[in-house]
Amino acid sequence: MGGDVGPAVTLPACKAFLDRHEDAELLLVGSPGALAPATDWPRCSLISASQVVTMEDTVKVALSRKRDSSMRVAIEQLKPNDEGHIAADACVSAGNTGALMAVSRFVLKTMEGIDRPAIATFLPHANDGFTCVLDLGANVDCSAEHLLQFAVMGSALVTAIEGKSEPSVGLLNIGEEAIKGSDMIKRAGELLRAVAAGGSHINYYGNVEGDDIFKGTTDIVVCDGFVGNVALKSNEGVAKMMKAMIREEFERTWWTKLMYLCARPVLKRFGARLDPRRYNGAALLGLKGLVIKSHGGADAYAFGQALNRAYDAARNRLLDGVHDRIVETMQALPNVGDSTIAEAA
């Protein structure tokens, strides 16, 4: 029910997803009237919810006044019942980000060893691959210990999705030198170096700068939510600007229009690599359940990508991977010689 458009986008995406994945089942949560077109779909069940969390609703409204919202009911499908069974392996929502994070944290709780969940997604880089970046907006103010936890969770995500056993981790900073950055960033670098040397599976590369995200310097880039969200929105803005500028330049004269026709296949491939819809679907890491956040302005193709990310994460047992990485990191902590890390992680 969420997003800028709602079922007009999400339902076609869900139908296409079911057509592609014959081993998948979907639980659609929302107003019975809005979900009526999916009544007879195979491997699809409808769950009624009487309320909807809007983009304008505050976290307080979502938590206390809309307890039967489609968002909350969907998230509750991930919570084990008295017998330990869950109705769904993952939840995908294009709704209010703040509300989704708050309701998910309230209903599911965080994993042991994780203070704050983080939003993680993949951004394209020049080597025709993707860089995992977190946090993208869930935590504006972070401590060094939180960035360490983000590195642990990001490593688990890349291992689960990309199959890399020891993905490299970079700490976003204003320079590569260890002496640069705020006190918090310097402290985070110290913790990451210490934990990496302590026998955990954190493959710490060192400090990276903003352009390293798009160079593919490391598999993972860790930062606080304020910086991460700015990087994400800037990337989306640049992609849209370049697309508009290319169109404008080629429409100037009949000659440039002819040039466009000749270059169209190359430009189409270039545009596809930059298309933000390809990497729609950010994981809310650190929760006792798998929640994927779709962009609110996603179209059917983009929402389908978010569904695919949820499918891949569930199939590759991402939650188990995050848990195992936390355990491995905590086992390495005694060698670090700093009790504050153990308390945080």
What does the pLDDT read at residue 138? 86
Contacts 24+ apart (CB under 8 A), 277-280: 277/301, 277/302, 277/305, 278/124, 278/305, 279/121, 279/122, 279/123, 279/124, 279/130, 279/305, 280/305, 280/306, 280/309
- Supply the pLDDT for residue 268: 66
pLDDT at 121 exceeding the cut of 60: yes
pTM assigned to the model: 0.83
What is the predicted pLDDT for the residue at 339?
39
The percentage of the chain sitting over the pLDDT mark of 70, rounded to a whole number, equals 89
Looking only at the bridges linking them, the beta strands covering 282-285 and 118-125 are: antiparallel
Work out the end-to-end distance of the chain between its first and last CA atoms, rounded to an integer number of angstroms: 36
Res. 337: pLDDT tops 60: no
**What mean pLDDT comes out for the span 314-322?**
88
Q: CA–CA separation, 290 vs 79, rounded Å?
A: 10
DSSP single-letter state for residue 176: S
Q: What pLDDT is stored for residue 340 in this prediction?
A: 42
Q: How confident is the model at residue 335 (pLDDT cuts 50, 70, 90)?
A: very low
Q: Cα(102)–Cα(284) distance, rounded to whole angstroms?
A: 11
Q: What is the pLDDT of residues 161-212, one digit of tens each?
A: 888 888 999 999 998 888 888 999 999 999 999 888 877 778 999 999 999 9
pLDDT over 50 (residue 155): yes
Q: Identify the pLDDT of residue 260.
A: 66
Question: pLDDT higher for 339 or 62?
Answer: 62
3-state secondary structure of 203: strand
Q: Which domains does the chain have, with CATH numbers?
A: 7-344 (3.40.718.10)
Q: Read off the DSSP letter of residue 295.
A: P
Cα separation, 171 vs 174, whole angstroms: 10
Q: Mean pLDDT in the chain?
A: 87
Token pair listed for 267: 């430009």
Our CA angle for 2, 97, 55, nearest 5°, is 50
- Please state, in angstroms and rounded to a whole number, the distance separating the CA atoms of residues 120 and 56: 23
Averaging pLDDT over each range in 107-116, 227-236, 292-301, which range is the top one? 292-301
pLDDT value of position 278? 82
| pLDDT-derived band at 253, boundaries 50, 70, 90 | confident
Write the CB contacts of 313 (distance below 8 Å, at least 6 apart in sequence).
90, 157, 160, 161, 283, 290, 292
Instruction: Check residue 324 and give its pLDDT.
Output: 83
Sheet holding 220-222, edge to edge: 91-93, 291-293, 282-285, 118-125, 129-134, 220-222, 168-172, 203-208
- The residue-averaged pLDDT of 241-270 equals 70
